Structure 1
Amino acid sequence: MKLTQFILPPALAMLPVTGAMAQDATLPPCDNCSDTLTISSWGGAYQDMQTKLFAEPYIAATGVKIIWEESSAEAVAKLRAMSEAGNVTWDVADVLASDGIRLCDEGLVQEVPLDEWLSPAPDGTPASKDLEKSVTSACHIPTNAYSTTFAYRTDVAEWNGKVPASICDIFDLETFPGKRALEKRPMNNLEWALICSGVPADQMYDTLATEEGVQKALDKLATIKDQTVWWTAGAETPQLLADKEVVIGSTYNGRLFSLIAEQKQPAAMLWDYEVLDIDGFAVPAGLPEDRLNRAKHFLNFATSTENLAGISKYISYGPARDSSQPLVGNHAALGIDMKPHMPTSPENAKTGFLFNYAWWADHRDDLDARFQSWLAQ
């Protein structure tokens, strides 16, 4: 487990915060608060974003010591073990919505009264209203959304100048010949297959709950099965596209943004029926009062409209607050406008849908077994 600690010297801690963080130079004092804050996150580019956007300005405004643990991929197991040992060392955990639901159900994280803990939008809209499209449990504070969606190569000669415009073009081997890349699990694939079998999106899960619906989805996937490369890691599809081993493939939108905008590969996004997922913060249950107060103070700061809009300066994930959307600007390093790259932008999300955590929790085991059996046939 990797630990990273950030401490500003006292002289720097007294300096005013500038630029996008200027509003926080007058951050109210934190009464009866601990002088350290331990946050679990994911490491890599995502945690780098949180360090620049949240941690460093907060340290500058408060002088607090922040310790990072890069353990969020194991958040459920870690918090279970801490709770059983009676020694919870995390104050804030960055977790996916699905893990937030599990942690909430098990009483390992506490419910969050959004309007008490978080600041309203600049126009006075309460945080609960500003965030309501992204709220998945009473214990999870949504901060950003990413999606599983598609990119395709733009230089496929056999396509005669045409490009995919619909999710159902994935299944059109006549117009768009070539290998596809799909994740080696039933989630998302079954939904897309049903939609392209003519099932209305609002009937998708009712249909998929039946034997006939599952078979219908698998039959649709069977039409491209022998032209599909099945991936298990998010980095695989961008590499397959770059190497011309596939012409179109699904993965996380941030990976595809890197392929297109950073690596300058001849590829473009297909956002139709993207599947949105939510990331955000949770607070372990049973914290002492001073640590809970520090966590609440930090979360109020980090989840402001301006700060969540700033996520897009570093990574192509959409801010969870409605009020943050108009504030999305340019990428800090590339200088490009990030609005067209946001999974939450109105244009990209017009047919998108939120991953149905509750439904998959009830059906995952059975459909995993069914899907893997189908793959082996």
Structure 2
Amino acid sequence: MKMIKTLQATTALTLIASGAIADGHMADEMTIVSWGGAYSASQQAAYHDPYMEMTGVTIINDESSSEAVAKLRAMNEAGNITWDLVDVEAADAIRLCDEGLAMEIDPDEILAPGDDGSSASDDFGDMLVSDCFIPQIVFSTTFGYRTDMVPAGVEPPTGACDVFDLETYPGKRALNRNPIANMEWALLCDGVAYEDVYDVLETDEGQAQAFAKLDTIKSETIWWTAGAETPQLLADGEIFMGSTYNGRLFSLIAEQGQPVEMAWNWQMFDLDGWVIPTGLSEDRLARVLDYVRFATDTQRLADQAKYISYGPARASSAPLVSTHATLGIDMAPHMPTDPNNAENTFVNNYEWWADYRDDLDAKFQSWLAQ
């Protein structure tokens, strides 16, 4: 697998050095895989539309990122890679890289330097959590709740642990149909200290404890698989409280004016970015490299934050984030990194999940079926 990734990286550098990108030997179509909803809309406005206008290339959107690992495994086994660029969370990028399904990149060769003169590796810094990962955003999985469904005389919910309090906050909940965040919240809200959560979760006893806590709300929970589902359930009044990505909730609250508020306490910090599948032909790889250099430069990452409340992964982009493109509101207070929102945050352990995800996925799906 290491040899495959090294050959792909060498091919990428050769394409750049030989001028294959500059002289137009590139595919005229790309299939880009992402998450749909407000997030894909922000990418369309900040990256896709400007790139298509500049180059004339056709970008086909696929909303299968939640199935990226399984589908790339299947494509690799079949020898038929139909995706050109895939948006994934950091833990999945690590898994795909370890399995040789994503291409290693040298950020200082592949990506644009920062507008402030910094190298790409310095500009992205600690966000480069894998040799195959091209960071885009910092986001969080957190909770939204219907303000008109808070019982009279009760303080509104403030965060993740309130989802387990059916007595104070009756009604349906919505949680992601996978173990990430749910298992950590279950332990944290069952009294496990923040710093001990992953040590406890490694054990059979700790996993049993997490599932037992989730059992207390299982009958009142709707399980979602796409980030757009919780906002729709909240908008329709079908749930009182639900988890999703903070940018989806921003869209629901600020853009749609729904009676919903954020409950930030113990939001789950995470990173999201691109991986390039191994096995692309030279013309497809050249097109992807050209697109990625454009779409991850300082200005483009700052532009995305005009449309959705995710923090750009480049340090040089942060000072350029100002107001929403159409609403004119200041975006900073809506970011997961704003001090008023980040009093208690849970940072996803990407490497831990890369090691344990397959096992806990199987156990989680088995638990759901019981």
**TM-score tier after normalising by the smaller chain length:** 0.7 to 0.9
Question: Shift of residue 81 of structure 1?
Answer: 6.3
Residue 65 of structure 1 is matched in structure 2 by 57
Once residues 277 and 119 of structure 2 are traced to their aligned partners in structure 1, the CA distance between those partners, rounded to angstroms, is 24
> Structure 1 residues 364 and 85, CA, compared in 2 at 3 Å: closer, same or farther?
closer
Cα offsets for 1:155-194 (capped at 9, x unmatched): 3452515122243333344544444333344332221121
Residue 27 of structure 2 is matched in structure 1 by 36
Is 1:331–2:329 an aligned residue pair? no
* Equivalent residue letter for 1:144: I
Question: Shift of residue 297 of structure 1?
Answer: 3.4
Q: CA RMSD in A?
A: 3.4
Once residues 363 and 281 of structure 2 are traced to their aligned partners in structure 1, the CA distance between those partners, rounded to angstroms, is 46
What is the TM-score of this pair, normalised by structure 1?
Answer: 0.77
Question: Are the equivalent residues in 2 in contact too, given 1:313–1:332 (CA < 8 A)?
Answer: yes
Question: Shift of residue 364 of structure 1?
Answer: 4.0
> Structure 1 residues 198 and 89, CA, compared in 2 at 3 Å: closer, same or farther?
closer
Cα offsets for 1:85-140 (capped at 9, x unmatched): 76656554434434433332232332111122223333333322332343332111
Structure 1 residues 173-182 or 116-125, which shifts more? 173-182
Question: Are the equivalent residues in 2 in contact too, given 1:33–1:291 (CA < 8 A)?
Answer: no
Once residues 105 and 70 of structure 1 are traced to their aligned partners in structure 2, the CA distance between those partners, rounded to angstroms, is 24
Question: Are the equivalent residues in 2 in contact too, given 1:149–1:273 (CA < 8 A)?
Answer: yes
Once residues 203 and 195 of structure 2 are traced to their aligned partners in structure 1, the CA distance between those partners, rounded to angstroms, is 15
Cα offsets for 1:65-102 (capped at 9, x unmatched): 34435265365566556656766565544344344333
Structure 1 residues 41-60: aligned runs within 5 Å:
41-42=33-34, 45-60=38-53
Is 1:231–2:223 an aligned residue pair? yes
1:256 to 218, 227, 249: 249
> Structure 1 residues 347 and 132, CA, compared in 2 at 3 Å: closer, same or farther?
farther
Question: Shift of residue 266 of structure 1?
Answer: 1.6
Cα offsets for 1:4-50 (capped at 9, x unmatched): xxxxxxxxxxxxxxxxxxxxxxxx99534424352423366544433
Question: Are the equivalent residues in 1 in contact too, given 2:137–2:312 (CA < 8 A)?
Answer: yes
Question: Are the equivalent residues in 1 in contact too, given 2:31–2:82 (CA < 8 A)?
Answer: no
Is 1:274–2:274 an aligned residue pair? no
Residue 16 of structure 1 is matched in structure 2 by none
> Structure 1 residues 197 and 161, CA, compared in 2 at 3 Å: closer, same or farther?
closer
2:113 to 110, 113, 120: 120
> Secondary structure, in 3 states, of the residue corresponding to 2:148?
coil
Q: Higher relative contact order at CA 8 Å, sep ≥6: structure 1 or structure 2?
A: 2
> Secondary structure, in 3 states, of the residue corresponding to 1:272?
strand
Once residues 347 and 133 of structure 1 are traced to their aligned partners in structure 2, the CA distance between those partners, rounded to angstroms, is 23
- Larger Rg computed on CA atoms: 1
Is 1:106–2:99 an aligned residue pair? yes
Question: Shift of residue 329 of structure 1?
Answer: 2.5
Give the number of equivalent residue pairs.
Answer: 348
* Equivalent residue letter for 1:261: A
> Structure 1 residues 52 and 36, CA, compared in 2 at 3 Å: closer, same or farther?
farther
Question: Shift of residue 296 of structure 1?
Answer: 3.1
> Structure 1 residues 90 and 258, CA, compared in 2 at 3 Å: closer, same or farther?
closer
> Structure 1 residues 269 and 133, CA, compared in 2 at 3 Å: closer, same or farther?
farther
Question: Shift of residue 333 of structure 1?
Answer: 3.0
2:160 to 140, 143, 167: 167
1:140 to 119, 133, 136: 133
Question: Are the equivalent residues in 1 in contact too, given 2:38–2:247 (CA < 8 A)?
Answer: no
Structure 1 residues 297-306 or 152-161, which shifts more? 152-161
* Equivalent residue letter for 1:199: V
Cα offsets for 1:283-338 (capped at 9, x unmatched): 34355666545433332221112210111222333322233233222222333322
Cα offsets for 1:236-269 (capped at 9, x unmatched): 4334433444322212323322322233222100
Is 1:210–2:203 an aligned residue pair? yes
What is the TM-score of this pair, normalised by structure 2?
Answer: 0.78
Is 1:285–2:301 an aligned residue pair? no
Question: Are the equivalent residues in 1 in contact too, given 2:39–2:247 (CA < 8 A)?
Answer: no
> Secondary structure, in 3 states, of the residue corresponding to 1:280?
strand
Question: Are the equivalent residues in 1 in contact too, given 2:91–2:353 (CA < 8 A)?
Answer: no
Residue 12 of structure 1 is matched in structure 2 by none
Residue 15 of structure 2 is matched in structure 1 by none
Residue 19 of structure 1 is matched in structure 2 by none
Structure 1 residues 125-134 or 198-207, which shifts more? 125-134
* Equivalent residue letter for 2:133: H
Residue 363 of structure 1 is matched in structure 2 by 356
Question: Are the equivalent residues in 1 in contact too, given 2:27–2:286 (CA < 8 A)?
Answer: no
Question: Shift of residue 142 of structure 1?
Answer: 1.1
Once residues 101 and 324 of structure 1 are traced to their aligned partners in structure 2, the CA distance between those partners, rounded to angstroms, is 24
1:195 to 183, 188, 191: 188
